[in-house]
Amino acid sequence: MTTSTVRQWSDNTRGYAMNAPALIAILLLVAYPIGYSFWVSLHRDNLAQPAARKLIGLDNYLSLVDDPAFLASLRVSALFVLVVLVVTVVLGLVLALVLNETFMGRGVLRSLVLLPWAMPGVVNGLMWRTVFDAKTGALNGVLTELGWIDSYQAWLASESGAFFFTAFAQVWNTLPFTVIILLAGLSTIPRELYDAATVDRAGVVQRFRQVTVPWLLHPLLIVLILETMNAFRAFDTIYVLTGGGPGDATTTVALLTVQRVLTYTDVGLGSAYAWVITLITLVISVAYVGLLYRRGSFEV
Amino acid sequence: MSTLVNRRTLLGSAVALPLLSACGAGSAGAGAVRFEGWDYESQLVQQNLDRFTAANADIKVAYTPITSAQYVRKIVAEFTGNNGPDVLYSYDDSMVSWVQAGYLQPLDGLPGVDEVYSGIYESNAKAMTFQGKRYGLPYYTDCHGLTYNAALLDKAGIKTPPKSLDELEQQALKVKNAGVLEYPIGLAAQLADTWSSWVWTLVYGSDAALFSDDFKPTMDKARPIFDWIHKAATVSKVIDPASLQLTPVPLDNAMMAGQYAFTIGPRYALRTYNDPAKSKQAGALKLAAVPSLDGTARGTVSSTRMYCLAAKTAVKDKAVKLLNFLGGYGSDGKPSTARFWFDQRGLGFPFRQLADDPDIRTTLAKFTDPETYTKLSAVAKPRNLLGAPWYGEYESAQQKTVQQLLTNQTDASAAVSSLSETAISLAKKYS
């Protein structure tokens, strides 16, 4: 290649050429597996029955419409996302507002709040499993000492108990992320806005609604998108705590997908499950952007 | 110049990568027998293999232990990538799917196989046979019985273990009413990827098969068992609700801490239960026949772990020799590896001749009653659904249904009809 040839390259061509190695790596490591998983989802493909492998088009997707296990897991996932999201956002906002104030020990408290985020999901599940244990759990110990319960309880043995304690463990693990994002958002609000609102005789609630909330819409959008995705994909904590039980009470769609692919080796239908999860989170994310991003742009 | 060197380095790397990868796949060396198993006591496995290689200097064995929790998945991944081992462990509930996937080859006609099959318990032979062909030589086996804490029963004035399910419930109530334990029965009922052995044990204990041998649901026969589970959990409340949070290891710990008077579990556990170094209840925990609906000891369920031969092994003759060493008889006509595992870790032996061995009976007597132990082997049966490709999915559904029974979300009739429907729909789906 001569120097004159290189000079003839347009900026665009050169840009593509320079990025080609990274693009190739991304194509090989990300795009290809994603595309391949879609291709697999169009097949009847159970590793235990290789002879039965065949292209069936969208049959795997169509079968989901009357697949009771899948529909039940979708319902559980939807409720799980709703509970985790509401509790995370409300608690996250409260904690962020508290940590945004100036008081003694704020630095230590900010560091402590981050700790749960550093914990892997499996460890989080194991820790809460120990806490909720029916025979030796700390929760039972504390409540018994306080005289609130007469005997040790199996907290994860009832449908509602298992669901809410699992949701609680998930919230505990992901709450710090929400706090950090909202705290960052709070720190960007100019002090003068609050001063002006105070001069205009706005009360605490009004200042929160008219100043804080509009400025937090963008960080809130990030929180909602990422926490929705996290809650939808929640697997490790639930797997360790309840395994999806009792019955189907905590069998989320992510848990069912892992079970379908790894336990039953049904990679065809399992891939279809995974694509449906992707599609659902995509639709929810687009809806969030539509609802909050534009609104935030106008009002801020 | 430096550009040239870099290009060469790059080209060299491109060539080296596949070579390195190939080295990884064949690190055992040409001609070695690749042997893989889950990682239970891998040092002892190696010790046993050293005995084999010492006696067979021309055969090299490359042994790879794999984490138990990932064993099935890794083996499937290896065979899918045409990089499977030559000889491998298999669970009885994995064998059929591995045969159907073409990973394993039948052992019929190979030297020593007929002798092994005529010397082992029928339940083990059945578990390793699929569509009339034999696919494994036995590693170890176990079967389940009623484990009870004689000291706790004594506190409630009970001297003999229950023979029927009604009697079990009544004795548990007596223990409960005497204030000894709030929930006398503990069971490992958390959802798991493995099987829920206690459910199958109760069913087979009353000779009430869930399926016919051609995998048609016959669950009506098991309805009284499900009804008993439901009643014991929700009416008399003798089954601990915390069972839903229990897997086998925490259940073992609870038994050894005296937190339960009864459980349905494997015979093997008695060795640890009655070890004073490990258990506070050592000496008090006993084994009995499975309580049945009518009080007659009718049977139990067994599990079999086996050694299998890969369909595409390139070193078949050597692999067969290893297979025979591990799962067959030695030149002295004794099953040396099965004996080795019983001596070392108390693993259940599939060979009938070992049940009469005086040394083995002496060892057994240290932790259980040898008579009850061997009687359970004689009446045990493998799950007759293992040959169905949809067994794994059914097992999962059954575990969930049993959890619903335990938590009063369903009753026995609804459970039976739901499981029947599940089985029919799975059979259709996999056909």
HEC letters along A106-148: HHHHHHHHHHHHHCCHHHHHHHHHHHHCCCCCHHHHHHHHCCC
Contact status, residue B376 vs residue B182, Cβ threshold 8 Å: no
* Cis amide bond preceding B276, omega within 30: no
The ipTM value here is: 0.78
Q: Are residues B124 and B261 in the same domain?
A: no
Task: State the pLDDT confidence band at A5, using cuts at 50, 70 and 90.
Answer: low
> From the list B76, B193, B403, which residue is nearest A247 (CB)?
B403
Q: Is the pLDDT of residue B12 over 70?
A: no
Q: Give the gap in angstroms from C-alpha B77 to the nearest C-alpha of chain A.
A: 9
Q: What is the pLDDT of residues B395-417, one digit of tens each?
A: 999 999 999 999 999 999 999 99
SS3 B307: strand
User: Which domain covers residue B73, as residue numbers?
Assistant: 31-142+304-381
Do B148 and B103 lie in a common domain? no
Mutate to test the interface with B, among A45, A46, A128 (most CBs of B within 10 A): A46
According to the model, what pLDDT value does residue B204 have?
Answer: 96
What is the C-alpha R_g of chain B? 24
Q: Which CATH class is domain A62-299?
A: mainly alpha
Residue B19's pLDDT is: 43
Q: pLDDT tens digits, residue range A82-134?
A: 999 999 999 999 999 999 888 888 888 888 888 888 888 899 999 999 999 98
Domain identity same for B192 and B173: yes
- pLDDT at residue B389, rounded to an integer: 86
B369 in the same domain as B226: no
* Residue bearing tokens 């599609």: A279
Return the higher-pLDDT residue of B119 and A264. B119
Which residues are CB-contacts of B201 (< 8 A; sequence separation ≥ 6)?
B144, B145, B264, B290, B300, B301
Confidence of residue B80 (pLDDT cuts 50, 70, 90): confident
Number of folded domains in chain B? Answer: 2
Tokens of B158: 């009970």
Higher pLDDT, A271 or A106: A271
| Residues B164 and B265 grouped into a single domain | yes
pLDDT at B34 over 70: yes
- CA nearest neighbour of B158 among B184, B189, B187, B182: B184
Within-domain flag for B6:
no
Q: Which two tokens stand for residue B307?
A: 């050694």
Q: Crossing angle, helix A121-132 and helix A138-145, to 10 degrees? A: 40
Q: Are residues B270 and B348 in the same domain?
A: no
Q: Does the residue B332 lie in any domain? A: yes
Q: Is the minimum CB–CB distance between A187 and chain B shorter than 8 Å?
A: no
What's the residue count for chain A?
A: 300
Residues of chain B in contact with residue A262, where contact means CB-CB under 8 angstroms, are 73
From the CB of residue A13, how many other CB atoms can be counted at a distance below 10 Å?
Answer: 10
Q: Are residues B98 and B217 in the same domain?
A: no
The answer to the question of residue B18 being in a domain is no
CB-CB contact of B306 with B136 (8 Å):
yes
Averaged pLDDT score across all residues of chain B: 91
The CA–CA distances, whole Å, from A116 to A110, A119, A162, B345 equal 12, 5, 21, 41
- As a whole number, mean pLDDT of residues B137-155 equals 97
Average pLDDT value for residue range A234-246: 91
Minimum distance, in Å, between the CA of residue B215 and any CA atom of chain A: 18
* B4: in domain: no
Query: Which residues have CB under 8 Å from B330's CB, separation 6+?
Result: B336
Write the CATH number for B422: 3.40.190.10
Q: Which residues from A are below 8 Å from B409, CB to CB?
A: 159, 246-247
Mean pLDDT of the B356-360 span? 94
pLDDT value of residue B331:
84
What does the pLDDT look like over B417-431, one tens digit per residue? Answer: 999 999 999 999 888
Residue B304: pLDDT above 50?
yes
The verdict on a CB contact (< 8 Å) between A265 and B76 is yes
B262 has a pLDDT exceeding 90: yes
Query: Which positions ≥6 away from A34 have C-beta within 8 Å?
Result: none
Closest C-alpha to A232, from A267, A259, A256: A256
CA distances from B132 to A217, B106, B108, B127, B138 (A): 68, 10, 10, 11, 17
In which band, very low, low, confident or very high, does the pLDDT at B301 lie, cut at 50, 70 and 90? very high
Can you give the residue ranges of every domain in chain A? 62-299
